[in-house]
Structures are given as C-alpha cells and as structure tokens.
Structure 1
Amino acid sequence: MIIGVLGPRGTYTEKAARQWIEKKGLEEDTVLEYCADIQDVFTLLGEGGCDVGVVPLENSIEGAVGVTLDMLMEGDIHIIGETIVTIKHCLLSRGKKEDIRVILSHPQGIGQCRHSLKEHFPDAELRTTGSTSHAAKLSTEFEEMAAIASPETAEMYNLNIIMPDIQDRKHNHTRFVVITRSDDMQTMEGLKEDAADCSYKTSIIVYLDRDRPGALYSILGEFAKNDINLTRIESRPSKRVLGDYVFYIDFEGNIDDTIIKDTIYNIEPQVAMLKMLGSYPKFDSHCESN
C-alpha cells in the first residue's frame, strides 16, 4: 500500500500516517510517498499514485484547514479513518536565539504560535512553507533562520532547539483524516472495521442554495429529533457569491445504521446538494490502540 503524506520527512502528517499504520498493523506493507503540499496529496491520490492519503483537517488552536475542506468538496474522495496527533512545536535553528531574523513554518504552525512569536520575536520576518519539516530543512541554510517544527525534526535536520513548546496553548492537537478514492472499494473494504466493535463517525457536506429563514435550523433539527450527536459543523464559502456557504457536518453513527439512513433521507429534500464523505471509526473508540 502506498500512502501519500505531506513531506518532506518529519512532518506531523507523517507522524499521523505512521500512527494509523501501526493501529492497522500495516507496518510491513506500506510505503510513504511524500508530497510538497496538501493539494498534492489529493492530486496524487486522484491520479492513482497512492492508495490512500493522510491530510490534516482541523487543529484545536487554529481550527479548520481550509485547503483540506476545499479539496474534500471538489474531489471524488471518501474518508476511511481518522487519527489525532499531539502537536508540540519547537523553534529550531542552526544559530542562537539572538541571531534569528526569519521564522519559517506551515501557516498552521505560525498561527498556533502567533502570541509566542509576537512576544519573543516581534521584529522577525514570518515566512510560510509547505510543511513544518520543509521549514526545518530550509533553516539549515542560514543561522539567522529558524523553523517552527517538531522536536524530532531537530535531530533529523541537525538543528538546535532554541525554544521548546512554543505553541500558544499547552494542549494542541490536530485531527487528520485518512482518505481514498470513492471508486476504490477494494481498499475501503479491506480496511473496514467491524461496526459492532467500534464507535463510528460520519462526515457529510451540505449546500442549502436557499436563502430562507430557518433553513440550517431545519436540517440540524433532523439530527436533534433522532438524538444524533453532532461532533462538528463548519461553514466554508461556496466560492459562488459572497455570503454563500457549504456546511461540513460530522456526527456520531454509521451510515449503515437505520436511524442515520432515515436522517439523511429526511435531509436530502431540504438541500440542493448532499455529499457523503464516509463513515469511519472514531479515534477515541476502543478499537484505537493509541
């Protein structure tokens, strides 16, 4: 199995992928294919260059990863799993703290450390990169450059840890989803958990296309009356006109459950579009090994 991840070596996405691989017992049967950015993971998957991809979906500090949401909407993608990684950002550099003039990282990494950077490096130039490990790799070139990345990346790229735990909040976690092509049923079936043994989560996208009072309330009411717990709802611009949105909804339950099927059946006539992203084991269920 080939798994597409954000590269180069040492990213949190790689850590998420290896965490999922270990849980599935696939250590001897997988190869990681490193991509330059999140969009490239989706492209590689769509072109058949990998069997599954692992991408970040949301962070406990910075919220949703916009490019992932957009690609889930645009691509023929199915979610088959999720995993959550504890994020511990460090400031890494060849030089010393007083030498630092430029700080590099993925936009999410910079956002998660915004207040710390303002306090300790108010005059430093902030530059975004495709990933935290790419930032670390670039920081090996000049002593005045530093990267926000994981402590493991410091050893990987022979950098000094200038400041540990630089993130603004002590508790920092990122949720990653494991994706495959919707038409790749063999991959999905081979990795499917027994629904009787795991707690499941389902993800959908809905587009209302009706500017009427109570439209979203009516949809959410279908979940409430069936006692279905919503775990996340996120709006994202539809990119059609200003003020027009699609909604990403996660909820507990499996699409094979009768109550979930009935709820989806009742919602579909109320929306212009409903896209099923998939049902998959919850990370915090007892079938997780982490």
Structure 2
Amino acid sequence: MTSDAAGPEASVPPRRTYSFLGPAGTFTEAALAQVPEARGQIWRPVHNVGEALADVIDGRAHAAMIAIENSVDGGVSTAQDALATVPGLRIIGEYLVPVDFVLVGRPGAQLDDVSLVAAHPVAYAQCLQWLTRTLPAHAHIPASSNVASALGLLDGTSDADAAIAPPGILEHHDLELLAEKIGDNLNAVTRFVLVGKTVAPPEPTGADKTSLIVELPDDRPGALLEMLEQFATRGINLSLLASRPIGDELGRYRFVIDADGHVHDERMADALLGLRRFSPKVIFLGSYPRADRAVVRYPDRYSDDVFVEARDWLRGLLSGEPEG
C-alpha cells in the first residue's frame, strides 16, 4: 500500500546554478548578489565569459552574469563578440555595480612600505592618479584579474608589496586594508547583464531596454546612417552604439545596440521590422527592465496608438473603405 501524501522534500524545487566570473570577491559576484532569484542558489565561479555562456548553453547553469560595459573603458569586447556568435542566448536583466578599488597587503603590511603594486592593467589605469600622488616611486606588476592580484600576495606567487583589488576581496580573504576608494573616477560604474537561454520577452514595464546586434549589409556610403534612421524616424533613443569587426574581411562591421524601449512597443517592433529588411543579420538579445528603472519618455507622435492608427488606415485603403 502506498501513500498519496508526498514527503516534505518532494515539494522543494531543485536549486538553480548561476555562473559568474570568479573567484569570490569579484565585481561580477557583486552584480550577481543583486539578483533576488539567485539568492540561496548555487553560484558557480568560472574563468572567462566563454565558459560562463557555455554553462548556460550546455545546461550546467540557469543563467550567467557577465560584464558588458564600463563607464570609463566602454564596451567589453569579449562579451559583445560572444553574444554575437553564440546562438540561443537572451539577456534577462541588467545590473549596475560601482567600480571602487582598495589597496591591500599581507597581514601586518603598512602603506609606507609599499613600492611594488600588483594590479590588473585596467584597474591600474583607473587608479594611476591616486598611485602617482600617494606612491610616486612605485612600480607595477600586471595581474591576470582584480582578484588574482590580491591572491598572489597570500599564496606567495607575487613579489608585490600590495595589490589593487575590489572591496569584496576583504570579505573572503585575510588581507590588510592599506587604502580605500583609490579609484580616480568616483562615479565609475560597470554594467552587467544576466544571460539565460532564449525565452519570450517579459511584459514591458515602461522602463525597459532592448539590446540588439546588427550587421551592415555592405561597406558603402550611408549604410550606417540608414541603419540609424530605423530608430531615429520612430523616436527611439540609443543608449549604446558600439562597432565590432565581423572578422571575415576588412570593412565588415556589426553594431552592438541598446535602444530605449521594449519589443512589445509598437515603435520598437516597427524599427525591428525595418532593420530586418535592411540588414543581413539582426540578433535580438532581449528586452528587459533597465537597471536604473528610468521611465522611457518619447513624444506623443511616437505613441503606440499612432502606429496602430496608421496600420488601420492602410488596411482601410487596401480594403476599399471610404476615408472618413
């Protein structure tokens, strides 16, 4: 005889896995910490963007958090190229992380004793003014990542006296804080996107963003202008426009685009149809809520009602209805 009542463990859903650029303490981990549905789930550290996206495609992870843009250095080309070449992916959310750095040393270290600093080249460039003022005679050892620069101090693989690292490193490792907020741009921000497998877009919120990758049909005068007109003539603002070489020959480019609005908006849907007619390849990466939750504003002449009325007017012409 069997019981119809299931045990309490039967109702507990399996934990989801989220991949992120590790190890613990990275800015990417800080971005993942902003995702409510990722809390209490499995966080899988990986070595690079390609590995993170492969986890999603192969089913090892429900989603992956990757950096896509930095307010100081611009677009992250490795992430943009991966999204352009790996099919079956969809951006399902975006998150902003302030880029702040600390200078750390081995336990007991002092700032006055620092002469050799380990840092990822990008982090070093963003802290160079502070280093020049505070440690004018220092030398730099390049590190493979922001976290690796600090871990090298602890495992003995680095000869540096100190390292530039994200503040989160102090939550995971026993390091001496020598200085904080050493970045030269206090408003620096990195934009991250959460990427999953292709799904239907969520309902619009009014504060949305649509990401696309569009290839130009050929290298000719006016081709870029023609692409941009698909947005301009429909009142759509672009918050990101970055070019990346396709790689098959000189003069061939794809453009990474963030457009204000949602694919369910009539004006955005109309722009995508125009792009599809114009471009040999349009990759829809997703429509999702903006991280800043800023409501998208546009003139009344680009409202959904205007596009619907225009379509109804055309249908009337084709059906022979008298114009009123």
Given the two structures, how large is their TM-score scaled by the length of structure 1? 0.86
1:109 lines up with 2:117 in the alignment:
no
Kindly state the Cα deviation for residue 88 of structure 1 after the two structures are TM-superposed. 1.1
1:158 maps to what in 2? 174
Secondary structure of 1:140's partner?
Answer: helix
Q: How does 1:54-133 map to 2 (within 5 A)?
A: 54-76=65-87, 77-94=89-106, 95-97=109-111, 98-105=113-120, 107-117=121-131, 120=135, 123-129=138-144, 131-133=145-147
Q: Is the 8 A contact 2:114 2:162 kept in 1?
A: no
1:27 maps to what in 2? 39
Secondary structure of 1:284's partner?
Answer: coil
Give the percent of matched residue pairs that are identical in Structure 1 and Structure 2: 30
Instruction: Summarize the Cα distance change of 1:239–1:226 in structure 2 as closer, same or farther, 3 Å threshold.
Output: same
1:273 maps to what in 2? 281
Question: Unpaired segments of 5 or more residues in structure 1?
Answer: none
Q: Is the 8 A contact 1:87 1:172 kept in 2?
A: yes
Between stretches 89-98 and 163-172, larger displacement belongs to 89-98
1:140 lines up with 2:148 in the alignment:
no
2:56 maps to what in 1? 45
Secondary structure of 1:19's partner?
Answer: coil
C-alpha distance in 1 between matches for 2:183 and 2:247: 32
String of CA shifts for 1:5-30, please: whole Å, max 9, x gaps: 0111111101100112x3x4x523x2
C-alpha distance in 2 between matches for 1:163 and 1:155: 16
Instruction: Summarize the Cα distance change of 1:85–1:233 in structure 2 as closer, same or farther, 3 Å threshold.
Output: same
Q: Is the 8 A contact 1:7 1:134 kept in 2?
A: no
Secondary structure of 1:88's partner?
Answer: coil
Kindly state the Cα deviation for residue 259 of structure 1 after the two structures are TM-superposed. 1.5
C-alpha distance in 2 between matches for 1:111 and 1:198: 37
What is the RMSD of the two structures over their aligned residues, measured on CA atoms? 2.2
C-alpha distance in 2 between matches for 1:252 and 1:70: 22
Q: Is the 8 A contact 1:207 1:274 kept in 2?
A: yes
Kindly state the Cα deviation for residue 99 of structure 1 after the two structures are TM-superposed. 3.5
C-alpha distance in 2 between matches for 1:135 and 1:39: 22
Q: Which amino acid aligns with 2:154?
A: T
Q: Which amino acid aligns with 1:33?
A: R
Kindly state the Cα deviation for residue 100 of structure 1 after the two structures are TM-superposed. 3.8
Q: Which amino acid aligns with 2:193?
A: V
Secondary structure of 2:291's partner?
Answer: coil
C-alpha distance in 2 between matches for 1:286 and 1:54: 22
Q: Is the 8 A contact 1:62 1:111 kept in 2?
A: no
Question: Unpaired segments of 5 or more residues in structure 2?
Answer: 1-15, 296-324
Q: Which has the higher contact order (CA 8 A, sep 6+)?
A: 1
C-alpha distance in 2 between matches for 1:49 and 1:261: 33
1:261 maps to what in 2? 269
Given the two structures, how large is their TM-score scaled by the length of structure 2? 0.77
Secondary structure of 2:268's partner?
Answer: helix
Q: Which amino acid aligns with 1:280?
A: Y
Q: Which amino acid aligns with 1:64?
A: G
String of CA shifts for 1:117-175, please: whole Å, max 9, x gaps: 4553665233131x322322222234634322222312421112222222121111110
Q: Is the 8 A contact 2:118 2:163 kept in 1?
A: yes
1:242 lines up with 2:250 in the alignment:
yes
Kindly state the Cα deviation for residue 35 of structure 1 after the two structures are TM-superposed. 0.6
Q: Is the 8 A contact 1:4 1:41 kept in 2?
A: yes
String of CA shifts for 1:78-121, please: whole Å, max 9, x gaps: 1111010112111111133333424133x442342244445536
Instruction: Summarize the Cα distance change of 1:70–1:204 in structure 2 as closer, same or farther, 3 Å threshold.
Output: same
